[in-house]
Amino acid sequence: MDFELTEEQLAMKELAKDFAEKEILPTQEKDEKGHVFRPELVKKMGALGMFGGIIPEEYGGTATGFLSTLVMNEEIARHSASYGLPFNMQVFGPALIILAFGTDEQKKKYVPALASADMFGCFAITEPNSGSDVVSMKTTAVEKGDFFAVNGQKTWISNAHVADACILYCHTDPQLKHKGMSAFIVELKKTKGVTTRPIETKLGLHCAPTGEIVFEDAMIPKSAMLGKRGDGFKICMTMLDNTRLSCASRAVGVAQAAEDASVKYAQEREQFGQKIAEFQMIQEQIAMMHVECQAARLLVQRAASLKDKNVKCTLEVSVAKYYAAETAVKASSEAVKIFGSYGFSSEYPVERLYRDSKSFQIVEGTSNIQKLIIASNIFGKKK
């Protein structure tokens, strides 16, 4: 096994680092406090090809692979977890799933636009009373001639009020439970009966838009169905195998940022007549950050390498997602302790890292759900 990145991958990592330092960091502090999302930054990322690595060349991508894309995803998240999220909204979620299940017409219309960020994407699963239990969702699509009338509410949807295209999961045949779920590509801004509104009362990810989508007799054409009727649950689980990996990569980026900040601060801060980096307890904290961050990164890269070989790797993805999420939370928590009172202050970055890290334990399937998937695979009881 080769654990070294290729020259191309190192160049892509440097591209992401350079972009983050020049485009995101100058306004980050102000934007975080004001909960400002800058769509032009996402469009620039698309123009630089950051979202095209897992997209075939015929659809405007570069086909450099999962690992190459995740290298950039991690580096962006290392500087801003908020701007690491568009990787999911553009390609790991909508674009990849349209490539896998869409018609030729759907692929041509949406995939190049999502990869270039000419069109913003999102996916809608979670509802007010439906989270980990996906099948319990109440949103329905009732067939009416050449259309489906959609009614229901989705919440905590990233990009909800800025997205152009949404992968909507709902029930077309509720009595069939998971076999009665279907998926649609909905153009939110062009569809009557669709209302979106932002959610701004969030702990973290202040520069990443999150909102609700309400459907009130929204008429969705049959041609907007993704895959076949009843394929929704299968499509959703396939998509989560991709988006969880991006989530894990972003978590590694945050964990690395916590380590970087802690090392720098420990070498500057003096107490009892010496740098705090000279205290063994501080060294132990940072050493464990480093070990766990390295382990999490290798788990992500292992899953990515399997994805690049087109090998089904639900177990490996869940292992990476679970461990990386827990590592990000632990690393950022330790960083806050190392910074002391300054760690509790929004004037220093570790406070933001801790807030942002908590999202990784929740989105794309909670840490408990990941453990359930892992155990089910171990005991051969896959569901």
Q: How far apart are CA 247 and CA 300, in angstroms?
A: 10
Backbone angles phi, psi at 230, to 5 degrees: 95, 0
Q: How far apart are CA 292 and CA 286, in angstroms?
A: 10
Beta-carbon contacts of 264 under 8 Å, excluding residues fewer than 6 positions away, are: none
Residue 241: count of CB within 10 angstroms of its CB: 20
DSSP secondary structure of 112-161: HHHHHTSS-EEEE--BTTBSS-GGG---EEEEETTEEEEEEEEEEEETTT
Residue 183, H or E segment: strand 181-187
User: Exactly one of 23, 75, 351, 364 is catalytic; which is it?
Assistant: 364
Residue 125: count of CB within 10 angstroms of its CB: 21
Question: Do residues 137 and 183 lie in contact, with contact meaning Cβ atoms separated by under 8 Å?
Answer: no
Residue 284: count of CB within 10 angstroms of its CB: 11
Active site residue 351: no
Backbone angles phi, psi at 182, to 5 degrees: -135, 165
Token pair of 160 as six digits: 């909800």
Token pair of 148 as six digits: 């489906």
Sign of CA dihedral 262, 247, 104, 68: positive
Token pair of 7 as six digits: 């020259």
Of 176, 175, 154, residue with least CA distance to 166: 154
Torsion of CA 126, 129, 133, 139, to 10 degrees: -60
Token pair of 297 as six digits: 């990164």
Question: Do residues 243 and 86 lie in contact, with contact meaning Cβ atoms separated by under 8 Å?
Answer: no
Question: Do residues 357 and 332 lie in contact, with contact meaning Cβ atoms separated by under 8 Å?
Answer: yes
Say which residue the tokens 């909960």 belong to.
35
- Give catalytic residues, as residue numbers: 364
